[in-house]
């Protein structure tokens, strides 16, 4: 993933933002974009941040990334991984079992001053595309495996 974003020479500058959760009582108050935006300000210059919105599995569009000016770089491809009862890096001994990894919207944020971001932009390995739109879905915290419409 790190090499895919901006090449081998920049792989140590790539970080992934993941597992953003906002409780229902804070939904709709811009808490998510506030959290992400203020966190980005704490990072060193010349850092590439990549994050994914799980469209295929959970119906997420990634509006929090759009609100915080991430670049949209398209969708990942659906693929299969070795089966895991937990985290994907801890796959079961039976390597013949596979599980689907759903397609996700990919967002990238460039940390730095205007000149630095311009140079980093040139290093991106993905085309920047218009933001996707549509209805996103939220986790139903009373049923962690289910979703409910927004």
Backbone CA torsion sign across 7, 123, 49, 107: negative
Q: Which residues of the chain have pLDDT under 70?
A: 27-28, 58, 79-99, 137-150
The two tokens of residue 44 are: 């060193």
Host H or E run for residue 132: none
Provide the domain count of the chain: 1
CA distance readout (Å), 51 to 2, 11, 34, 83, 111? 12, 15, 16, 23, 14
CA distance readout (Å), 149 to 29, 51, 64, 101, 144? 18, 22, 17, 22, 14
Q: Are 36 and 21 in contact (CB under 8 A)?
A: no
Q: Say what the pLDDT of residue 13 is.
A: 97
Q: Which domain holds residue 60?
A: 2-149
Tens digits of per-residue pLDDT, 23-46? Answer: 777 766 788 888 888 999 999 999
Q: Say what the pLDDT of residue 93 is.
A: 61
């Amino acid at each position: 993933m790190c090499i895919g974003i901006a090449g081998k020479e920049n792989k140590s500058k790539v970080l992934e933002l993941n597992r953003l959760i906002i409780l229902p009582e804070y939904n709709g108050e811009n808490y998510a974009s506030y959290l992400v935006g203020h966190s980005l300000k704490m990072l060193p210059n010349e850092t590439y941040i990549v994050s994914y919105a799980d469209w295929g599995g959970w119906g997420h569009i990634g509006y929090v990334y759009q609100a915080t000016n991430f670049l949209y770089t398209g969708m990942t491809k659906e693929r299969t991984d070795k089966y895991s009862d937990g985290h994907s890096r801890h796959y079961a001994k039976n390597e013949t079992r596979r599980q689907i990894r759903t397609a996700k919207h990919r967002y990238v944020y460039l940390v730095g001053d205007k000149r630095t971001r311009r140079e980093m932009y040139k290093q991106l390995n993905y085309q920047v595309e218009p933001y996707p739109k549509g209805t996103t879905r939220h986790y139903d915290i009373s049923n962690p495996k289910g979703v409910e419409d927004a």
